[in-house]
Structure 1
Amino acid sequence: MKFLLSILVVAMLSITNSITAQNTQTITVTVVNATSDAGKIGYALYTKDNFMGKPIQGKNGKIVNGKSTIVFENVPSGEYAVTCYHDKNNNDKMDFSANRMPLEDYGSSNNVMAFAPPSFENAKFMLKDEDLKLEIKF
């Protein structure tokens, strides 16, 4: 009986993992206009609940000829936002002047250019049941 129960549990876990894997997508994000190939582009994927806090996924992308592309994988359908910045000096943080103006370029999904930090409402997009490609301009 224990053997049969073990087989049943393993089968259920396999089915659950298979269903979960099928319900996730990828989000490919490309920055198309970095001002130089120095440093890297830091990317962050957020939901409304954690926007501008700890991202769901964070990635760094190499810059080649002013472009950088990364892929967020295994992302469930839902509402998200992406932010990114050009880490020109590779210090893993966005640098600011003494008066709190950014010294490094930044952008977000939907490319809303405001003289303020990005907001979730301006940057949000829906990920449905297919892979998505986004272009961000600084």
Structure 2
Amino acid sequence: MKLIACLLLGSLVFAPKQNTQERYSLTVTTENLKNSEGTLFFSLYNTEGSFPDEKLERYYKKKSVTIDDKSVKVTFNNLPKDNYAVTVLHDENNNGEIDKKFMLPLPKEGIGISNYDDFGLFNRPNFKDASFALNKGKTITVKVIYK
């Protein structure tokens, strides 16, 4: 009997903790794309300083989608409650990079940033302004901007 009690007590002490953190889904939509060529890359960020990410390396999660029409929708599932920012790259030539205009740091292809209707040399995106709280399932629309 003592052996059974010790085994039960040991299993309670050493049992893995249940992940009780709530999880949510985030759906990101884009509309009015310039064309249906190429791929859309959706990058999700959750850390101050990871954004902007011109080399597309510091993301938390990423999805790529071929374009069927001039609008696209993707869903990130099982996300913990946190602050997030989203970027969308319309990679028209499918090279997986943000192509820049000659002699300017502005992109040649379409870029979208959560909470931004426009950006430029004097309105550079940052995580603080692009981020939003995810504390329930949510759908956002990101405007893809062509410069």
How does the TM-score come out when normalised to structure 1?
0.82
Residue 120 of structure 1 deviates from its aligned partner by 1.7
Deviates more, 1:46-55 or 1:23-32: 46-55
Q: Which residue pairs with 2:18 in the alignment? A: 16
Structure 1 residue 57 corresponds to structure 2 residue 57: no
Q: Note if contact 2:115-2:129 (Cα within 8 Å) is conserved in structure 1.
A: yes
Structure 1 residue 70 corresponds to structure 2 residue 77: no
Residue among 122, 127, 134 paired with 2:129: 122
Q: Percent identity?
A: 30
The one-letter amino acid of 1:122's match is D
- Unmatched 5+ residue regions in structure 2? none
Secondary structure of residue in 2 paired with 1:28: strand
Structure 1 residue 94 corresponds to structure 2 residue 93: no
Structure showing greater Rg = 2
Q: Comparing both structures, which one devotes a greater share of its residues to helix?
A: 1
Q: Note if contact 1:46-1:52 (Cα within 8 Å) is conserved in structure 2.
A: no
Residue 112 of structure 1 deviates from its aligned partner by 3.1
RMSD: 2.1
How many pairs are equivalent? 132
Q: Distance in 1 between matches of 2:128 and 2:142?
A: 16
Q: Distance in 2 between matches of 1:41 and 1:83?
A: 10
Q: Which residue pairs with 2:115 in the alignment? A: 110
How does the TM-score come out when normalised to structure 2?
0.78
Residue 7 of structure 1 deviates from its aligned partner by 4.2
For residues 75-97 of structure 1, the C-alpha deviation after alignment (integer angstroms, 9 at most, x for no partner) is 11121111111000111111112
